[in-house]
Structure 1
Amino acid sequence: MTTITLVQGDITRQSVDAVVNAANSSLLGGGGVDGAIHRRGGPAILAECRKLRASRYGKGLPTGRAVATTAGELDARWVIHTVGPVFSRAEDRSALLASCYRQSLRVAAELGARTVAFPAISTGIFGWPMEDGARIAVRTVRESADPSVEEVRFVLFDKEAYNVFAEVLEA
């Protein structure tokens, strides 16, 4: 059974098999978690992302999908890049958000990752409300984590996000 843990801190400082990157579809770096992972992980991550863009993801990584690269200089073996949906009040995109977690876990299991660190996907500049994002994240991990993944760690940047995830996890 997969253990779910919460950490308040910097996802780029986690010692895990795989770090999940809340990437943008270009795979070429950006702001927030994406920029931090590319900066700390170094040029090897960007080099592999460029290869992915030159081959099977010429138009970018579709929302809800996941793909792995090296973790470069991070204390991890892999970075699993996934593109979260932008929140919309007019359209329910929760299935796409759940797919980010499900597909990232599928890639992690295929790689043989036993420990995986996730950020709160789409809750930053993509505007997803934290409580709803936490509910979707926790439910999806509980329902779809492969037993070979021993620990899923949600790494929350601030105390507010940590508290929301803690409430959802206890519910």
Structure 2
Amino acid sequence: MEFSIIQGDITAFTADAIVNAANTSLLGGGGVDGAIHRAAGPELLEECRRLHGCETGKAKITSGYRLPANYVIHTPGPVWHGGGAGEEGLLASCYRSCLHLAEENGCRTVAFPSISTGVYRFPLECAAYIAVREILAFSPIAKTVQSVTMVCFDERTKAAYEAALRHAQQE
């Protein structure tokens, strides 16, 4: 499985599935979540209403509608409360849940944003390490997923993911 890290706009990224850093209602919000809902159009909100939310660390899938992706995989990441509330395990579960859901739905290409590092205040370096670790751990068991791309909003985020990848490759 190929793994790459780029800087860009996930709403413009062509993939079988893009991941939405959603809230538990799945009804849109700020940041990546709001951008994905705006780009996909009102049909995404209608489908999300029928899903009745999603637990933190889990994932649900919808159509991509007006996005250049067939699917949107929605995963509510954890809010950072200092690290003692199971946040790291929940974030790892987000990545695993999304990758398994991508496999189950025949997705060959998947794009992730940096989950929980915006308004949820998860420390970027820690989140990047968890994301890279989970994606690399999934690689040997991937049957359908052939390519995973981290689509980073800015240069600082991209640099953190690149550093995490270098660190993981040295372990």
**Normalising to structure 1: TM-score of the pair?**
0.93
Matched position secondary structure for 1:17:
strand
Aligned equivalents of 1:27, 1:70: Cα separation in 2:
13
- Correspondences of 1:4-153 after superposition (within 5 Å): 4-53=3-52, 60-89=53-82, 90-145=84-139, 146-153=142-149
Aligned equivalents of 1:170, 1:94: Cα separation in 2:
20
> Please, which runs of 5 or more residues in structure 1 have no aligned partner?
54-59
Aligned equivalents of 1:92, 1:25: Cα separation in 2:
17
Aligned equivalents of 1:41, 1:114: Cα separation in 2:
20
Aligned equivalents of 2:7, 2:26: Cα separation in 1:
26
Moved more, 139-148 or 119-128: 139-148
Moved more, 88-97 or 8-17: 88-97
| Pairs aligned (count) | 164
Give 1:147 shift: 3.2
Identity of aligned residues (%): 49
Aligned equivalents of 1:41, 1:104: Cα separation in 2:
19
List, as ranges, runs of 4+ consecutive aligned residues in structure 1 with deviation greater than 6 Å: none
> Please, which runs of 5 or more residues in structure 2 have no aligned partner?
none
Give 1:144 shift: 2.1
Cα root mean square deviation, aligned = 0.9
**Normalising to structure 2: TM-score of the pair?**
0.93
Aligned equivalents of 1:14, 1:164: Cα separation in 2:
20
